[in-house]
Amino acid sequence: MRIARYVADGGDPAFGIVELAQDGSGHPDSIAAITGDPLAGPVNYTGERVPLEAVRLVSPVIPRSKVIGIGRNYAAHAAELDNTVPEQPLAFIKPNTSVIGPGEPIVYPPETENLHFEGELAVVIGRICRRVPRERAAEVIFGYTVGNDVTARDLQAGDRQWARAKGFDSFCPLGPWIVTHLGIDEASDLRLITSVNGEPKQDGRTSELVHGIAALIEYVSGFTTLLPGDVILTGTPAGVGPLTPGDSVSVTIEGIGTLTNSVVEES
């Protein structure tokens, strides 16, 4: 299932199931309306269906408590910034107020002169959990979406702590929807491509993760309780680079979808 949150006709955001075209193209083309919150229980279809192009997608999840990021989890990315791969996952927290949806603008703040994209596989947690052994990680995963761990690289170096560099409002685009039908093995071998203004910048595979999805859940749930809707960003492959106002950045993960955001100057 592909679960989206969308706004139609200026109404309130609602959850819906993205459906694929029946014309053989397999392109997502419509949304079937459902009632309630799929993270809280089984979904009920209302019978209503709207074309995808007639709605505005918003973030498929608003993390109730936190987004946990993992730094330097692809060896080639660690190397490109002259860092070594940490023995243990390097975890940090992005505030849930940094989350935006597909199509919403990344706001370039005046405090930075070096804003970077980081395309990432995002794991959405489905159950309240603590100290989950890696063999049981699948039980607490709701699904996967695409994330962009937007980072003010200059502040990251200067601040030492990453709260500000990675925590500005709009620094955590998520979407376009949550895919719930992938197993950990499938999610652990997907191609990830980030392009800026149509030009490819990152091209990696989630099989290159130093600490895999199950190990990350074990590690993160070992220090903090995870709540339904919390998100773990699994790290970014090599090829990170700058964004400037006016750019359009797209992160595509095969089998999930494409997350596109523009960059605007803070007004």
Using CB under 5 A as the binding rule, whether residue 218 contacts Zn ion is answered as no
> By CB under 5 A, what part of segment 234-253 binds Zn ion?
236
Torsion of CA 205, 207, 211, 214, to 10 degrees: 120
In the range 187-216, which residues lie near Zn ion by CB under 5 A? none
# chain residues binding Zn ion, by CB under 5 A: 3
Q: What are phi and psi of 21, to 5 degrees?
A: -60, 145
- 178, 2 Cβ separation under 8 angstroms: yes
Q: How far is the CB of 151 from Zn ion (least distance, A)?
A: 7
Residues 100-119 within binding reach of Zn ion (CB under 5 A): 118
- In the bound state, the residue with its beta carbon closest to Zn ion is 149
Minimum Å gap between C-beta 40 and Zn ion is 29
Amino acid type, 190: L
- Residue whose CB is less far from Zn ion, 192 or 263: 192
- The 6-45 contact track toward Zn ion, x by CB under 5 A, reads ----------------------------------------
Work out how close the CB of 197 gets to Zn ion at its nearest, in angstroms, rounded to a whole number: 21
Rule CB under 5 A: choose which of 149, 153, 167, 194 binds Zn ion: 149
Q: Which stretch binds Zn ion (CB under 5 A): 23-31, 141-149, 175-183, 210-218?
A: 141-149
Minimum CB distance to Zn ion, residue 258 (Å): 18
| Contact positions vs Zn ion (CB under 5 A) | 118, 149, 236
